[in-house]
Amino acid sequence: MRNLDEDNITRAVIGMHAQAGNVRLRELMTSLVQHLHAFARETALTEEEWFQGIRFLTEVGHITTGTRQEFILLSDTLGLSMLVTALNHKKPEGCTESTVFGPFHVEDSPRVELGGDVANGAQGEPCFVCGTVAGLDGRPVPHAELQVWQADEAGYYDVQYGEDVPHRARATLNADAEGNFHFKTIRAEAYPIPHDGPVGRMLEALGRHPWRPAHLHFMITAPGYERLITHVFRNGDRYLDSDAVFGVRSSLIADWVEHPRGAAPDGTHSEVPFYTLAFRFVLNPDGA
């Protein structure tokens, strides 16, 4: 394997993978090499451009931490995350659509009782959320587990404030025996993805903004059903048609209804105006 040139090096690299014991790994790496080499040929990639790409990915790795996942941001802003989601979550009509996971989910979020306060001190206008979890057949899904998380009114998730800040605006709760759920939180607001790193510089160079429309994250699980990872987006948001991570689906847009101060849905008296959101989630049965 000597004297390789631009015409035969791709075949040579692929040939080196022929003995890989993992068939799927061999398939993925063969396709990756083919597309990478084709990209370099098609664009007549220069050495300086190649070095800039290496530096960019190195910077993405350096800024990535347990609470700052720059590689997910890169995947999201290139549309790759949403493409993979679409490929892997094709569902029957009537099921709630999936969308991107995002970089700010936290395992083992605080558990709250049904009707509890998810905000836990996060700043924002009060919002009362309710809804149901059902199957494709219309029957309620009893005791489905819901993980919810969102940014505060300043556009930050709790993990962006540092390790010493308690979890806020995120929680885990269970629906009741009839699939109903309700909790108190804050109104979702539009916010920019972290753009003080290499991904932000990439967006700026491309003339793109870093903003996401206001949304509330949900991850819903129940025995016998596929896990659902999705958002509910606030109707009327200015960024619905230019989401920086391409995650908006029309079926996931809902109204945050404003109410004057007074009696709140949980029976308390609100001294300030508040919002309500209602949404019905439909899960896809396992193996459907």
Q: How far apart are CA 45 and CA 99, in angstroms?
A: 34
Query: What is the chain's mean pLDDT, rounded?
Result: 95
Instruction: Average the pLDDT over 133-158 and give the result.
Output: 96
Q: Is 90 exceeded by the pLDDT of residue 256?
A: yes
Dig out the tokens for 218 from the structure. Answer: 């949900």
pLDDT of amino acid 54: 98
| DSSP 3-state of 12 | helix
Instruction: Average the pLDDT over 128-132 and give the result.
Output: 98
Q: Which residues pair with 280 in a beta bridge?
A: 132
For each of the domains in the chain, give its residue range(s) and CATH number, in order of start: 1-45 (no CATH), 74-283 (2.60.130.10)
Q: Is 70 exceeded by the pLDDT of residue 288?
A: no
Condensed to tens digits (0 to 9), the pLDDT of residues 206-240 reads 999 999 999 999 999 999 999 999 999 999 999 99
Q: How far apart are CA 70 and CA 198, in angstroms?
A: 8
Residue 106 per-residue DSSP state: -
pLDDT of amino acid 211: 98
Give percent above pLDDT 90 in the chain.
Answer: 91
pLDDT of amino acid 66: 82
In the block, which residue shows the tokens 């199957």?
135
Contacts of 150 (CB under 8 A, 6+ apart): 157, 169, 170, 185, 186, 188, 215, 216, 217
Contacts of 276 (CB under 8 A, 6+ apart): 127, 128, 129, 130, 256, 257, 259, 265
- N-term to C-term CA, the chain: 49
| DSSP 3-state of 104 | coil
DSSP secondary structure of 38-103? HHHHHHT--HHHHHHHHHHHHHHHHH--SS--HHHHHHHHTTHHHHHHHHH----TTSPPP----S
Condensed to tens digits (0 to 9), the pLDDT of residues 155-191 reads 999 989 887 788 999 999 999 999 999 999 999 999 9
pLDDT of amino acid 163: 77
Give percent above pLDDT 70 in the chain.
Answer: 100
pLDDT of amino acid 2: 87
Antiparallel, parallel or unpaired: β 126-135 and 180-186 = antiparallel
In the block, which residue shows the tokens 């847009």?
253
Condensed to tens digits (0 to 9), the pLDDT of residues 52-94 reads 999 999 999 999 998 889 999 999 999 999 999 999 999 999 9
Name the band, by pLDDT with cuts 50, 70 and 90, for residue 280.
very high
This prediction's pTM: 0.92
pLDDT of amino acid 90: 92
Q: How far apart are CA 106 and CA 91, in angstroms?
A: 26
